[in-house]
Structure formats: structure tokens, C-alpha cells
């Protein structure tokens, strides 16, 4: 092959390479798509409103009176709610004091009056006040706020319906159940 032939071939190869390279660059310019900054889709999950701590910290103002809540309360459901109390309270007649006092007949009985239980000073100081449904409702909502200094280490039950059901269950823990307040 003479040098002329070689130049032709080399020129063709070089030319092809230039064209391919050029097209490639050209297509980059024409079809320029910005690289996504993050690969994949960003899935945004909205925080469920009113869940967890936030809801517990800000209970909705009761829409109904306690009497109205109790009129439609369900003692059987309240018995389930009472499981949160049963770790510390026995509710049976003549049953023992545990971490907390026995709760048989608690509705209508005086604060801090169950025999054989060592109450806090704060609770004992209220010994002339009966446990009404209103007082129980307030205490169970937030024990430490209702009776500062109580030794009942329990956060409280924030849901109105749960408390109403629980109070309806506490009503049954008695030989002579105390009637609910009028709606």
C-alpha cells in the first residue's frame, strides 16, 4: 500500500471518528436533560395529625357534659379500660390493696379512706371529700394535675369515651351503685 492509499484510509477512519464524536456531542446539546439531583421518587408521608404525644398533650375540650357521656357509656368496654388500672388496683369486694388501694365501692367513698392503705399526704388531706363521678373523671384524666402530690404514678386516660366507659365500670364495683349525674 502506498502512502496515498494509507492517507485515504486514515482520513476515512479519522473522519468517521469525528462524525461519531460530533453527533454524540451534538445530541448531548440537543437532548440535554438535567440530571436529577436525587435518584428515585421522594415519597412524602404527611404526619398523621393528632397522633401520639401531641394528641395526648392536648385533649379536645369535652363536647358533652359528663352526665351525657355516662348516659351512653358501656361498662363492659370500661372493664377493658380498667386493665390499665389493674396492675395497681384490685376491684373486687374485700380484695387486697396492691400498689394502689382496693377500688370496690370507690364511687361515693371519701378520698384516701380505704382501710390499710398508706395514702400520700395530698390524698389523705382530702379525706372529707367524696369521690364523685366528676372528681374521679378529673383525677383519671390527669392524676398529678388533679391532686398535686398524689403518689398514683399514672399518666391518665385522655380519651373522653374511654373514661366514661371506665366510670361506668367503676359504678358496677358496688353493692349499691351510685346513680350517674343527670345529663
Residue ranges in contact with ligand HEC by CB under 6 A: 84-85, 87-89, 99-101, 103, 106, 111-114, 119-120, 122-123, 131, 136, 140, 150-154, 157, 166
Nearer to ligand HEC, 89 or 180 (CB): 89
Nearer to ligand HEC, 106 or 164 (CB): 106
Q: Cell 479519522 belongs to which residue?
A: 14
- Kindly state the cell numbers that stand for 166: 371506665
How far is C-alpha 137 from the geometric centre of its chain's CA atoms? Answer: 20
Whole-number minimum distance, CB 109 to ligand HEC, in Å?
7
Whole-number minimum distance, CB 57 to ligand HEC, in Å?
18
| DSSP state for residue 130 in the 8-state scheme | B
Sorted by sequence, the CB contacts under 8 Å of residue 87 that are 6+ apart come out as 98, 99
Given a contact cutoff of 8 angstroms between Cβ atoms, the answer to whether 67 and 182 are in contact is yes
Interatomic CA distance for residues 57 and 61, integer angstroms: 12
Composition of the chain by helix, strand, coil, percent to 5: 45, 0, 55
Nearer to ligand HEC, 113 or 171 (CB): 113
Nearer to ligand HEC, 42 or 164 (CB): 164
Whole-number minimum distance, CB 66 to ligand HEC, in Å?
15
Whole-number minimum distance, CB 183 to ligand HEC, in Å?
22
Whole-number minimum distance, CB 160 to ligand HEC, in Å?
14
Nearer to ligand HEC, 11 or 149 (CB): 149
Helix (H, G, I), strand (E, B) or coil at 139: helix
Given a contact cutoff of 8 angstroms between Cβ atoms, the answer to whether 97 and 109 are in contact is no
Amino acid at each position: 500500500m502506498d502512502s496515498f492509499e494509507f492517507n485515504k484510509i486514515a482520513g476515512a477512519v479519522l473522519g468517521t471518528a469525528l462524525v461519531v464524536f460530533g453527533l454524540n456531542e451534538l445530541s448531548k446539546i440537543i437532548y440535554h436533560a438535567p440530571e436529577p439531583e436525587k435518584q428515585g421518587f421522594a415519597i412524602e408521608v404527611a404526619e398523621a395529625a393528632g397522633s401520639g404525644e401531641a394528641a395526648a398533650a392536648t385533649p379536645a375540650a369535652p363536647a358533652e357534659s359528663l352526665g351525657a357521656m355516662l348516659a351512653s357509656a358501656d361498662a363492659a368496654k370500661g372493664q377493658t379500660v380498667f386493665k390499665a388500672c389493674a396492675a395497681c388496683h384490685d376491684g373486687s369486694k374485700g380484695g387486697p390493696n396492691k400498689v394502689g388501694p382496693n377500688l370496690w365501692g370507690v364511687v361515693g367513698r371519701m378520698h384516701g379512706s380505704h382501710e390499710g392503705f398508706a395514702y400520700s399526704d395530698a390524698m389523705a388531706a382530702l379525706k372529707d371529700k367524696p369521690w364523685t363521678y366528676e372528681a374521679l373523671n378529673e383525677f383519671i384524666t390527669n392524676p398529678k394535675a388533679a391532686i398535686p402530690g398524689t403518689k398514683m404514678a399514672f399518666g391518665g386516660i385522655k380519651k373522653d369515651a374511654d373514661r366514661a366507659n371506665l366510670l361506668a365500670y367503676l359504678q358496677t364495683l358496688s353493692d349499691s351503685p351510685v346513680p350517674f349525674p343527670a345529663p
